[in-house]
Structures are given as C-alpha cells and as structure tokens.
Amino acid sequence: MTTPAPRSKPDQVILTGAEYSVYSRICRITLRLKDVPHEFEMLDVFAENGPDKARQEGHPFGKIPVLRHGDLVLFETLAITRYIDDRFEGPPLQPVTPADRARMNQIISIVDTRIYPVIVWGLHVPKSEDREPDPSMIVKGLAALDALETLARHPWLCGDAPTLADAYLAACMDYILDSSAGNQVSQHCPRLEAWWRHAQTLPAFC
C-alpha cells in the first residue's frame, strides 16, 4: 500500500469519519476532552466509492476513522485515541494505576466486543429498518449492559474523571437507547443512567 501524501500542516489535526460512525464519535469525543483544535472531514463509507476514498485517506481496509497530524496518518480507534491522549496536553484520559487502567480497558473491550456488534448492529439497526432482531441478540445485549452496570463507578465510569472508557460508551449511547434494549438502561441500570445524565452536561459528549 502506498502511504498517502500528507495534506495537513505540521501541527494540524484532521479527523476523517462520519457523524453516524460510533468509532468516529469516539475519536471526536477524545479530541474534545483533550481540547485539541481539529478539523472533521466527512466520509461516508457506505456511499459509492466510499471504501476506495477511505483507502486513499490512509485506511488499508477502506474504513473510518482516519487521523492525520502533520505527516502522521493513523487508523484504528485504539491507536488514534491513545495517541491523542499521549501526544496532546490536557487532562489524562487513562488512569494511572494498573488496576484502574485494567478496568478502563475492560469496559472498552465490552463496548468493542458486545455493545457495538450486539446492540448497535444487532438491535439498533434492525429497529431502524423496521424488522425484528435475532432474539439471541436481546439476551446478549442485556448481559452486556448488566456487566457495564456492575463495573460503572461515579460520577464517571472509572471514577472521578472521564477516561477513554467514557468516550467509547458515550459514542454508542444514542444507539443503545434507540434499540430494543434501551428500556433496560432506565429500568435496570441506574448507574449507567446517572452516568449518561452527567456526561451530557459536558459539551465534549454532546
């Protein structure tokens, strides 16, 4: 694969993604939490030639998001968010202690492996298309929310300050609430409901 030529100035940050994309949202929330000036360029990978355009931007698999910082081109949300946190000034988004960092990574992993494929794609998408989801997805989705409810602290998921875990889950919340598992949050997940109300008071999560 040919490395794309840099299109940004040395200190310019450009995030290429889509408003609907959970993983683009995660990166945008992370940039806002770190107060990093940046530009957001829309790229719809479901549009005609969308994957080809994503490859041109620097994603070898034709997906989004892609981050450019000067000559640096990054893909994969894990790499992008940790680079943002490590590279730029602002409040740290990764806990200091090994135990708390492990808790953060545990929540992120649940979002990656359960919330996104099960609730976003398995429950929200069928509802948006006016069709019934696979019943097994409801069971799996409720189990994922129960696990997050058990792990959630106050006022943020990992304690007193927002972390990358908050960015990951917040990016999914609109889709979670607008799914067949959405009522689970208000009825059985008081910690998650309180966390989401609190998160929405910060512009970074809006």
- Full set of structural domains in the chain with CATH: 13-87 (3.40.30.10), 98-205 (1.20.1050.10)
| Phi (first) and psi of residue 3, to 5 degrees | -70, 130
Listed range (6-10, 58-62, 137-141) with the worst mean pLDDT: 6-10
Query: What is the per-residue pLDDT for 206?
Result: 87
Task: Compute the average pLDDT of residues 51-79.
Answer: 97
The answer to whether residue 2 scores a pLDDT higher than 60 is no
Q: Is the pTM of this model over 0.85?
A: yes
Task: Compute the average pLDDT of residues 116-120.
Answer: 98
Task: Compute the average pLDDT of residues 83-107.
Answer: 97
Vertex 173, ends 126 and 49: CA angle to 5°?
60
User: What is the C-alpha to C-alpha distance for residues 3 and 44, in angstroms, rounded to an integer?
Assistant: 21
Task: Compute the average pLDDT of residues 70-75.
Answer: 96
**R_g (Cα) of the chain, nearest Å:** 17
Q: For residue 44, how many C-alpha atoms fall within 13 Å in the half-sphere facing its CB? A: 4
The answer to whether residue 111 scores a pLDDT higher than 50 is yes
The tokens describing 118, both together, are: 């099960």
List strand residue ranges (DSSP E) for 71-170, in order.
72-75
Task: Compute the average pLDDT of residues 57-77.
Answer: 97
Listed range (1-10, 19-28, 154-163) with the worst mean pLDDT: 1-10
Query: What is the per-residue pLDDT for 8?
Result: 52
Is 182 strand, coil or helix?
Answer: helix
Chain-wide mean pLDDT for the chain?
95
The answer to whether residue 5 scores a pLDDT higher than 50 is no
pLDDT band at 11 (very low <50, low <70, confident <90, very high): confident
Residue 167's nearest CA partner among 75, 114, 104, 96 is 104
Task: Compute the average pLDDT of residues 21-36.
Answer: 98
| Phi (first) and psi of residue 20, to 5 degrees | -80, -15
User: What is the C-alpha to C-alpha distance for residues 158 and 192, in angstroms, rounded to an integer?
Assistant: 12
